[in-house]
Structure 1
Amino acid sequence: MNNVERHQFIMNQLQQNGAVNVLELCKLLEVSSVTIRKDLKLLEDRQLLFRTHGGATLNNPYTIDRTVFEKEKIQAAEKAAIAREAASLITDNDSVIIASGTTVQAMAQEIQPIGNLTVVTSALNVAVQLIKHPNVEILQLGGILRKSSTSVTGRYAESILNDFFCSKLFLGVDGIDLDFGLTTTNAQEAHLNRKMMEVSQRVIVLADSTKFGRRGFGRICGIEEVDQIITDNGVSPQTVKALERMGVKVTIAGEEQ
Structure 2
Amino acid sequence: MLAIERRNDILERLQADKRVVVSELSAIYQVSEETIRRDLEKLENDGLVIKSYGGAVLNEHSIFDLPFNIRKNQKIVEKEKIARLIAGMVRDGEALMLDASSTDVYIAKALKEMKKLTVITNSVEIIVELFDMPEWNVISTGGISREKSFALVGPHTDAMIRSYHVDKAIISCKGLDLEIGMTDSDEHDANSKRMMLKSAKERILVADHTKFGETAFTKVADWSQITKIVTDKKPGAKWMQEFEKYRVECIYPGKES
Same fold (TM over 0.5): yes
- Give the secondary-structure state (helix, strand or coil) at the position aligned to 2:65: coil
Paired residues for 1:123-142 under 5 Å: 123-142=123-142
TM-score by length of 2: 0.72
Deviation, 1:86, is 0.9
Distance 2:62 2:146 in 1: 20
Q: Distance in 1 between matches of 2:249 and 2:61?
A: 24
The amino acid of 2:94's aligned partner reads D
- Aligned position for 1:39: none
Q: 1:176 to 1:206 in 2, by over 3 A?
A: same
Cα drift, residue 245 of structure 1: 2.1
Bigger radius of gyration: 1
Distance in 1, matches of 2:191 and 2:176, equals: 16
Give 2:227's aligned residue: 227
Aligned pairs, how many? 197
In structure 1, the partner of 2:248 is: 248
- Change in 2 beyond 3 A, CA 1:199/1:256: closer
Amino acid corresponding to residue 219 of structure 2 in structure 1: R
| Residue pairs, 1:168-179, within 5 angstroms | 168-179=168-179
- State the alpha-carbon separation in 1 of the partners of residues 113 and 187 from structure 2: 33
Distance change >3 Å, CA 141–CA 107, structure 1 → 2? same
Q: Give the superposed CA RMSD.
A: 1.8
Contact map agreement 1:61 1:215 (CA 8 A) in 2: no
Q: Is the 8 A contact 1:119 1:138 kept in 2?
A: yes
* Cα offset, 1:62, TM superposition: 9.1
**Structure 2: where are the runs of 5+ without partners?**
1-59
Residues 181/93 of structure 1: CA separation in 2 closer, same or farther (3 Å cut) = same
After the TM superposition, which parts of structure 1 deviate over 6 Å for at least 4 consecutive aligned residues?
Answer: none
Residue 90 of structure 1 and its aligned partner are, at CA, apart by 1.5
| Cα drift, residue 236 of structure 1 | 2.0
Partners of 2:61 and 2:250 lie apart in 1 by 21
Determine if contact 2:197/2:226 at 8 Å carries over to the other structure. Answer: no
SS at match of 1:255: coil
Offset of residue 256 of structure 1: 4.0
Amino acid in the other structure paired with 2:67: T
Q: What is the match of residue 80 of structure 2?
A: 80
Deviation string 1:156-196 (CA, Å, 9 cap, x unpaired) is 11111232100100101101111111111101111111111
Q: Secondary structure at the match of 2:79?
A: helix
Partner of 2:110: 110
Q: C-alpha deviations, 1:110-161, integer Å up to 9, x for none?
A: 1135442110000011111222112111111111111111011100111112
TM-score by length of 1: 0.72
**Equivalent position of 2:64 in the other structure:** 64
Matches within 5 A, 1:1-257: 64-233=64-233, 235-252=235-252, 254-257=253-256
Unpaired stretches in structure 1, ≥5 consecutive residues: 1-59
Whole-Å Cα distance in 2 between the matches of residues 82 and 142 of structure 1?
A: 27
Counterpart CA distance in 2 for 1:247 and 1:62 is: 33
From the superposition, tell whether residues 62 and 240 of structure 1 become closer, same or farther in structure 2 (CA, over 3 Å). farther
Question: Does the C-alpha gap of structure 1 residues 239 and 61 become closer, same or farther in structure 2, counting only changes over 3 Å?
Answer: farther
Q: For 1:89 and 1:217, how far apart are their aligned partners in 2?
A: 31
